[in-house]
Chain A
Amino acid sequence: MGFDRSDDAAVYRLTDDLAIVQTLDFFPPMLDDPYIFGQVAAANSLSDVYAMGAVPKTALNIVCFPEKMDINVLSQVLQGGSEKVMEAGAVLAGGHSIDDVDVKYGLSVTGIIDPHKIYTNVGCEPGDVLILTKPLGVGIVCTADRVGEASPEAMEQAIKSMTTLNKYAAEVVRSFPVHACTDVTGFGFLGHLHEMLGGQSRAVIYSSQIPHISEALQYAEEFLITGAAQRNRNFLEDHVEIESQVPFGIEELLFDPQTSGGLLVSVPKEVGEQVLAELEKLGMPCGIVGEVIGRGEKEIIVK
């Protein structure tokens, strides 16, 4: 695919109608429960494959674990990870572990795809609608949880979102014409949208339509905000115009880094409502969050 664009995974064409897609992702725990952390890390690693429109086939564990720590913790992490790989219909084929001062876990996943059907994360066209398949706010909720401020309900919603495979949303969008697709992770919603617009298109985002964990908004208004969100904000400053009536909390949610976030999909307006109706059946908060528009000044306008 080349390196000039920011695709979600590496693609290698084997034959005319078969290519492999490879990804690798690992990170330190964002929550206490090792089993859930394993699930989240695996769902997150698999996500890049789904964002390309591919089907995961094999996965390899990447593990950093302190020698002195209770080995049962590691087995729970790996248990969570392996269950998600199985749910994805892929095979966990091995892995590598090293001694380290902190725990880190993730996977390298290989998937297959017909090279003619790859979703790139550029290619939005004016008139497309933008659909987000998971709620925003998991970063803020995990941050609030770390300082003991998150409610059990908010944490439950965040965990449900982070452990849900993007497989199901990917299966829904597969039957529609997809102009561009990516998954929302560390650069936050606006960061990944910026990549998707690729300097070619512009978008208007409706702040009132953003699916989100409602407590996350409250935590943001209480300034339980992250350094990473501010770094995203700094990076995107020149590309984004946020209208003054947009509540501060929503602004923070839009910059908030997501772990195992949803897919952001650009589809023709005519099929937007239909795609959304199908996605809603999956039971995850989702929404049509904006539109791709024609030429103008700022790349992204948040209304």
Chain B
Amino acid sequence: MKKTVDATGLACPLPVIETKKALKEMSEGQLEVVVDNIVSLQNLEKMAKQMGLAYSLETVHDSKHIIHIAVGEISSKEEPNCEAVSGNTVVVLSSETMGSGDAELGRVLMKSFIYALTELDRLPDKVLLYNSGVKLSVNGSDSLEDLQKLEGQGVEILNCGTCLDFFDLTDQLATGSITNMYEIVQSQMEAGTIIQP
């Protein structure tokens, strides 16, 4: 699939917004965005870089610049693999609950899921927490002790900074470090296995 967004004549942040929209509609293929100034091109480059997308830049002339973005299957489901896979094992906790249906049940399940992680023979390399997932790493969380135990055993615990900020919990963070979208994307791109309960 190949798509072109003509963002000439648009002022920032509109080229970026139009590009985001187009990316959302594409699962794979080539996206071409045409802009009329170098600053818009640089803003698009920043976005592609932050999103972990492969891209190349082209300047046709002074008022025509193009970014070519290769859209891949970023969040594709991993194939089940019996062999110990190469690369990192990354656990993604995108919510404070496990599964959907009943929130209370979801909380109980999440607590026992994280406890079970601590009992694994081969621990994951990283745990990524975002959206309400970050509530698991703050003071008062039922899973705090288990996450701290994982951290103590060398598992990298990474919490989404925007999310902590959103819930106003940044100063309550009790385990792991704060990360950004670039690292969240990068960690998943580089992962051998992604586990998302």
Query: Chain A residues in contact with chain B, CB under 8 A?
Result: 143, 147, 214, 217-218, 221-227, 230-231, 233-234, 245, 247-249
Is B43 interfacial (CB 8 A cutoff)?
yes
Interface residues of B in 1-23 (CB under 8 A from A): 11-14, 16-17, 20
Contact: A217 with B182, CB < 8 Å? Answer: no
Contact: A248 with B12, CB < 8 Å? Answer: no
| Given A143-B13, A225-B43, A248-B50: A218 in contact with B166 (beta carbons within 8 A) | yes
Contact: B13 with A214, CB < 8 Å? Answer: no
Is B165 interfacial (CB 8 A cutoff)?
yes
Q: Which residues of chain A are near B179, meaning CB under 8 Å?
A: 247
Contact: A248 with B40, CB < 8 Å? Answer: no
Query: Chain B residues in contact with chain A, CB under 8 A?
Result: 11-14, 16-17, 20, 37, 39-40, 42-43, 46-47, 50, 161-162, 165-166, 168, 177-182
Contact: A226 with B166, CB < 8 Å? Answer: no
Contact: A224 with B17, CB < 8 Å? Answer: yes
Alpha-carbon distance A245/B161, docked complex (angstroms): 11
Which residue of the partner chain, among B40, B165, B181, B182, contacts A227 with CB atoms under 8 Å?
A: B40
| Given A230-B43, A234-B42: A223 in contact with B16 (beta carbons within 8 A) | yes
Alpha-carbon distance A217/B180, docked complex (angstroms): 11
Contact: A217 with B165, CB < 8 Å? Answer: yes
| Given A147-B14, A147-B17: A221 in contact with B39 (beta carbons within 8 A) | no
**Distance (whole angstroms) from the CB of B44 to the closest CB of chain A:** 9
Q: Which residues of chain A are near B181, meaning CB under 8 Å?
A: 221, 248
Which residue of the partner chain, among B12, B37, B162, B166, contacts A225 with CB atoms under 8 Å?
A: B12
Who on chain B is nearest to A246 by CB?
B180
Contact: B42 with A221, CB < 8 Å? Answer: no
Contact: B43 with A227, CB < 8 Å? Answer: yes
Who on chain B is nearest to A252 by CB?
B46
**Distance (whole angstroms) from the CB of A220 to the closest CB of chain B:** 9
Contact: A230 with B42, CB < 8 Å? Answer: yes
Give the 9 A-B residue pairs with the shortest CB-CB distance, closest first: A227-B12, A247-B180, A227-B39, A223-B47, A230-B39, A223-B16, A221-B162, A247-B161, A224-B13
Contact: B46 with A214, CB < 8 Å? Answer: no
Contact: A225 with B39, CB < 8 Å? Answer: no
A223, A224, A245 — most chain B CB neighbours (10 Å):
A223
Q: Which residues of chain A are near B39, meaning CB under 8 Å?
A: 227, 230-231, 234
Alpha-carbon distance A247/B165, docked complex (angstroms): 12
Contact: A226 with B161, CB < 8 Å? Answer: no
Given A227-B37, A247-B161: 15 more A-B contacts, CB < 8 Å: A143-B12, A143-B13, A147-B17, A214-B165, A214-B166, A218-B166, A224-B16, A226-B12, A227-B11, A230-B12, A230-B39, A233-B42, A234-B42, A248-B46, A249-B180
